[in-house]
A and B are shown apart, each in its own frame.
Chain A
Amino acid sequence: MTIDVAKIRADFPILERRIGDAPLVYLDNAATSQKPKQVIDALTDYYTRYNANVHRGVHTMSVEATEAFEAARAKVAKFIGARQPESVIWTRNISEAINLVAYSWGDANVHAGDEIVITAMEHHSGIVPWQQLALRSGATLRIIPRTGNGRLDMDAARKIINSKTKIVTAVQMSSVLGSVNDVKTLGKLAHENGALILVDGAQSAPHMPVDVEDLDCDFFGLSAHKMLGPTGIGVLWGRPELLKAMPPWMFGGDMILEVSYEKASWNELPYKFEAGTPNIADAIATGVAVDYLSALGMENVRAHEIEITGYALKRLTELERVEVLGPTDNADRGGIISFNHADVHPHDLGTALDRMGIAIRTGHHCAMPLVRSYDVVAAARASFYIYNTTAEVDALVEGIKQVERYFQK
């Protein structure tokens, strides 16, 4: 073990929970992670000690709230390797981050005849905003396919990304297959063709070191709730020169410089994109979540997950009636494993495992086209994080065996 899992588990009050008689085995981390007490305490601390609006008052609490809010932004910037904190914009989640780019940058820069390139592994939030931009602009949406073993088809990508391409968007880690995609090469292909790249970091930022400068991407998005933070807050990072040139997307307080009844002028970055009172408490708590992960070290988080995923792949592929949807080799792969049982539908499996305290996700995982490309309508998914153990993988495998026997009776 590269991280002390027992010590980590003690920080997560929810892991004490029992489901019926059974201890909770939480394996739905790709949907949302659990929160350490440090993050929960940060929320309580803000509301009990210095709840005040930011960027306005001169009173003590407003100053404290503003300092904590902006410090959290700087922490997130450092966490993803962004040089300027002002290039980090708070959003509700990554869906809002992608929508911001599709509306603000997209409406100004994408026109009829242009092409928008996405991958076969995008979450619905990486499909629909671009589909709608294509409909508004008359541009064409093109899709980089996957290979039979659940990887992006990079040869196809080289053909699909061309001089008509305006933007490429790609998940760094698939939320269904667990595949880690070579977004750096996709970015290079985009730039060679004068296009931009948006990297969807919803599943990568929580689980592996991310450096937007090294990736050489143009936009990067994440959701805090998948990385120990609260729900309702996410981040869009963008190259400052791009963000400066983009028009605001939402209008209101805080995002303006000067307002008359006839016109208004816009505040500087990042406030131009943060209309209204922001999500202060959750932003501050996100900073604490980032502190927690940084103290563990993202290299160590990644190493732990490689170990547990390798073990889970070995155990699950030993089950004759179970088929794993994504790559079964552990290279370039994150801790997300989707699978199907030949005799038990994922929903029945999910309900039955829940009786044993084991929480997995079942369904289409907000990626209908990808799941359907495996000729199934649904799948079961187990996904791991820093507090999961190999004993919990054993519990999952034993659980599946019991369910198997139950449905054979």
Chain B
Amino acid sequence: MSHILVKGLHKQFAGKPPTTAIDDLDFAIEAGEFIVLLGPSGCGKTTTLRCLAGLETAGSGAISLGGTTWFDSSRRIALPPEKRNIGMVFQSYALWPHLTVRKNIGYPLQARGTKGPEAAKRVEEAAALVDCATLLDRYPAQLSGGQQQRVSLARSLVSRPDLILFDEPLSNLDAKLRDDVRAHLHELHARLKFTAVFVTHDQSEALALADRVAVMRAGRFEQIGTPFDVFERPATEYVADFIGLSNRLPAARIDGVTRVSGVEVEGLVLASAQHDEFVLRIRPEDLRLAPDRGSLSGLTTVAGTVIDSVFGGRHLDVYVAVGGLRLHARIEARTTDDWARALRGGEPVVVGFCPDFARAYGLENEGSRLITVQPLVATKD
């Protein structure tokens, strides 16, 4: 049996017009699983999290943990947050400024009736777990952002809750610290095996932490799967775009010739009898550039003109016009020859990519879903 079961969860916010924050969600979370809700702001991920916490009440649907019903609109049950045995890490950390770190971490224990030496011991343990044992008698205002973040984590862990909720907890940290905390969190989860729901808009966070990633759009799950699945086989164009396949090449196959934005493509490409028109998606890192087709043998190629080239340290970002399209190629600066470094706007260039790295999607009116057709065919009959 699943640990947490969400059925038909639906939530609207009043307004003109009313906005649907969660649209009929169904999902299950296994014990010890780390689920990441990924999506842009306004996609409903935080609302979903807050419904799990009991801080927001859904309009309809049901949430249960094990045999306990947390929420059931049809039976008019809505357990308040304090009855759900959960932990939560807030975006602002929400450490109470008038309590010491020790009291902050001990609060969930005290609120749930654990007192005395047992509570003191568990506070020490939780603090040690996040390397905050030396900070116990300080006040939150005396801590750095990273320390506050760790204390907040200890507070969510201390009472060994059934579920820990993370509301974009890393977004207030600077880039380096974020990587450290992320690694630490991954390690902790591997060790303690707590059940977690983590909300973020950062795809790399999602891929690093999740057992399963749920990509959300307009209150629905666009795709839910392992990080590998989501990364390698984005189910829709929306997911593909969000996960980094940002180059969009609308392609058409007319009279046996495949064209991208009117420009003829050479080499192999995905194609099927049903799809004369489709959209190719590809990552900037998977595009190659060369002065002519000969240097890109084995790749699928299309001719274009350089718009601009931007130096980025280890890499070059080159923007290329192909027909009416603007493609973004990220090529490694170390290995590029002088030719690539000397690229300037207006120069002709050939863009190539390995057809295995591209993903093909149906048109929008067909739901922009991934087309899975093998084998690859030549772009020309």
Partners in one complex: no
Interface set of A (CB-CB < 8 Å, partner B): none
Interface set of B (CB-CB < 8 Å, partner A): none
